[in-house]
Structure 1
Amino acid sequence: MTREDFKNAKFIDIHAHRQLEQQDTVIIYSFAPGLNELPPKKTLFSAGIHPWNMNEIDISESFLQITSLSKNQELRFIGESGLDSSIEIPLSEQENLFLKHFELSESTKLPLIIHCVRQLSRLLEIRNKRRPRSSWIIHDFNGNQQMIEQCLREGSNKIYFSLGPRFFKSPHSKIANSLKSLPLDRVFFETDDQEEINVKMIYEEFAKRNQIEISSLKEQVIKNYKAL
């Protein structure tokens, strides 16, 4: 999906690792330097270094490439980047890299897509200290009601929640049990790296569980995107 097609779109896939043409869907392709290819021209994308991949690439060279892309009008988000307690890479190193992404997000005024595993408290500490102007999107969010409320207490530059495969596949996940706490004006949807699902399926599942019309949900997500 190209930027020219956005006005005709009904669905938005905010974070995808696949480049698939879908006539009614805006897909934001996740570009990771050193690991996958830049998308074709006019394709909307994000760019960042995932903490899982820090030992697989030349970080300096990769981040230089991300910075060089920052004037590309198809680059819509910085990331994904973030903090993950489940991997062996020291959190101090992860945080240093995350802060580079944060600073680029601020200087470009582009929203930041965040990978966060058991580090929400630290993430919010950084946010409170740094006071970002750009919006944050926590991708594949799987938090409980308390975690949602923590994020909602943040300042005027909003934190958004992107629901993806974990929400779709796990009816008893933390986020599945906390949907009523999630404001519709903070919601996005994504397919992440899953090949067997499309974002329409996630929209439909969310609408069913929340007992809302899918047409209203589609309109709200487009409003959310435009508000970033």
Structure 2
Amino acid sequence: MEEIKDEVELFEEKVEIILKTIGPTRPSRLLVPSSIKVRDLRRLIARNNESPVDNLSLILHGDALCDMKNGDDIYIKLNDGDCLMVAVKPKPPVKDGYDNDDDEEDLKFQLPRSSSPWKRRLYSILHDKLKLPDIILMVIFTLSLKAWVFIIMWFIFAPVAHRWDLGPLYILATGFCLILFNLGKRQAGDVSAYSIFNEDFQELPGTLNADRLDRDIRAGQF
């Protein structure tokens, strides 16, 4: 709280805004800097209304205010007499059993704060202006530069293969390449699940085959 006070005192120009809390509460007035971070404004309002910061939702001129965008703090410009709607979100009820909300949160893609400025700019264009789904953004930003080079080269050579009537062969070769390049590498001492690739055709413990069935039958375990 002391850090907020120090930051507020740095601003000379202050304005008085009107806070309208949804519910039976009367409107109140609050003196704040004319230019302020949404994060700090939320904290000031939470302290003024004695409400939890995380449950506050602020609406200015019909738009919901967000604390950050693409990893950067958002500043807003306030004028004297501006009306700010304040809503206190209720705590979600405790649900029993499996909830799909966790899966939906996993599908929401957020750019890491350590990302470079050009990645943030590209993310802002794709997410805010083009409105691409999160699953597409996840694919775009998680692929490495080498993967994008291979994808671009594939689309460049695809018309050439089609022109030479090698389209089916080109697709089959692509499938085999994907399989080969995605094969895992065994560490020293690891055993393959396929005994034919192991030394002395060693099998994994618990492998069920004809020899084991024969031994179990002879031993009277069936």
TM-score (norm 2): 0.20
| Larger Cα-atom Rg | 2
Q: TM-score, normalised by structure 1?
A: 0.20
User: Higher helix share goes to which structure?
Assistant: 2
